[in-house]
Amino acid sequence: MKILDSFHFVPIMVDPMDDIVRQARQGSVSAIIQVLNERLANSGVRTRAILDGGVLQLLCEAATPEQLEQTSLVDRVKRELETIGPRSIRRVNINSRIVREQQLLWLQEIQRDPHNQLLWSQEITLARPNVLKRWVEDWKYNSMLEAQQKPVKNTPWGARERKQFWRGILVGGASLGLLLALVGWALSDWLRVSLPTASNTPAPVASPVVNPAASPATAAAPAPTQDPFVLAVRLAEQSVAAGKTAQTSADWLELASRWQRASDLMGQVPASDPRYPTAQNRQQLYAQNSQAAQQKAAQLR
């Protein structure tokens, strides 16, 4: 009798919050807001944010001034943001005020009259994340996603194989980190030894090699660049279409991320561009759409 091994897929559930944290680490402003609101919920503080000129403008609102005590709130927000480690965001301006009705253009309001709008405002600089630690975390996360599709034999040995798989991931990550540290140490030691003994005679400069088959026009042609205005409009059109079919909280979170990305792209249009006024207007509009999508996602959770 021929026995056929049966297979099944091991369901490895990835916490949706872990995926949102991952988006926040990539620099998604909407994901950063959601993570902060989750972690500050017990203190009664609610946040909103806009990326303005490379600075994350963060608005913290609460019902009483005691909940917005400057020293403790700044320390906690700084600690939470450094735990997230959002890519390309180092400067954060924390603004605080008593909670009020929804204002879509809140940044313009507080910039126009900060003394009457805010309790206080403070700019902080985030520490840079550990690159090696971040790489290991991303590698483990990607391995977890790939494992969702890995078939495992439905035999008594299945549980042992899964344990060995995860043990291999943990040991492999630790071994890789140690190997990189040793390679870096050896390289720095080698450079300290070899540099003083290097010859002081300047190396001959090699003559540039010209390919006779290449035409001057081809050699001088600049690399094509992507227009942030066009990309933002295209992304906005896709977001409008996606909004017609969005149903779950995850759908609306993804939609909020798209709108924020479109807003960020509009913010990259330089002031010398004739479309700059339009880009500024749409930057705010897309940011408003992102906030509206976040609110819809919160209602469905």
**Residue at 199 is within a domain:** no
Considering the domain architecture, whether residues 97 and 174 belong to the same structural domain is answered as no
Amino acid symbol at 131: V
Quote the DSSP letter at residue 214: S
Overall pTM > 0.85: no
Report helix angle 249-266 to 16-25, nearest 10.
Answer: 0
Q: What is the pLDDT of residue 205?
A: 46
Q: What is the pLDDT of residue 121?
A: 93
- Which of 86, 114, 129 delimits the end of a domain? 129
What is the spatial distance between Cα 262 and Cα 253, in angstroms, rounded to a whole number? Answer: 14
Considering the domain architecture, whether residues 105 and 160 belong to the same structural domain is answered as no
Considering the domain architecture, whether residues 146 and 123 belong to the same structural domain is answered as no
Considering the domain architecture, whether residues 189 and 232 belong to the same structural domain is answered as no
Number of domains in the chain: 3
DSSP H or E run through 52: strand 46-52
Q: Output the six-digit token pair for 173.
A: 């990550």
Pairing type for strands 7-9 and 91-98 reads unpaired
Q: What is the pLDDT of residue 268?
A: 93
Q: Along the chain (301 residues), what's the average pLDDT of each consecutive run of 10 residues?
A: 41 60 88 92 92 91 93 95 89 92 78 88 89 70 60 53 67 71 68 47 45 42 68 92 89 90 92 92 92 89 75
**Residue at 86 is within a domain:** yes
Neighbour-count burial of 256, counting CB atoms closer than 10 A to its CB (0-12 exposed, 13-18 middle, 19+ buried): buried
Which residues are registered as beta bridge partners of 124? 92
- Neighbouring C-alpha atoms within 13 Å toward the C-beta of 107: 18
- Which of 129, 157, 174 delimits the end of a domain? 129
**Residue at 208 is within a domain:** no
**Domain of 34, in residue numbers:** 16-129
Q: Output the six-digit token pair for 72.
A: 């403790």
Pairing type for strands 55-62 and 46-52 reads antiparallel
